[in-house]
Structure 1
């Protein structure tokens, strides 16, 4: 997995979360909110955060597993619990597929000593753990 691939994980997770019915947006983390506020002070005008700002992705250094936190704004037309479950499964599937595409084995065996496969190696998919926070429920006026 290259550094560029690791940077793609929040984008893939955000796209998967936004594709779930009932998700109206992703809520940026405090870090992104403060960065946006500082940007508005420097150059006034509208600043819209990217969808990735609602996803925090990191790797567990010990196990190699991906840990993702997704902060969702959901519609009131559907139970938030059902939406959160669908987001969790959709994000997990999309990120696992993305990582599986990137960690496929090379064209042939590599000469040299045989080592035990490490985290994220081609021996199996990298574990992906997803936590979904519903930060706001939007009410549609009927």
Structure 2
């Protein structure tokens, strides 16, 4: 049993969120934007940080993870339906990843920042 890595959890969550019908993109937080800008200024190569923009993970004392997803949705569907789908898809993906590492407690919070 190995410990899950934050970056792997972020990538699993990002992939699940982006695959949900109605999701246009993930909304990076200000810290993500600044880090991306700084990495572009110092190196010419891209990093996996860009893939996890819009996803924040925190290890919780109960032995699981809290995942926050910030997303931009297409306006042609009900926001609440898409947000519920994103929450379930992300929870399923992260729980499946974490089960390989002996942890299964996952909470997911979805924030819709805008629609396009």
TM range (shorter): 0.7 to 0.9
Q: Secondary structure at the match of 2:80?
A: helix
Aligned to 1:65: 64
Structure 1: runs of 5 or more not aligned: 104-119, 121-125
CA RMSD of superposed structures (Å): 2.2
Contact map agreement 1:28 1:54 (CA 8 A) in 2: yes
The count of residues paired between Structure 1 and Structure 2 equals 113
TM-score by length of 1: 0.70
- Give 1:78 shift: 0.6
Structure 1's consecutive aligned runs of 4 or more residues displaced over 2 angstroms after TM superposition are 36-44
Structure 2: runs of 5 or more not aligned: none
Aligned to 1:127: 105
- Give 1:136 shift: 1.5
Contact map agreement 1:26 1:51 (CA 8 A) in 2: no
> Which one has the bigger helix percentage?
2
- Give 1:39 shift: 4.3
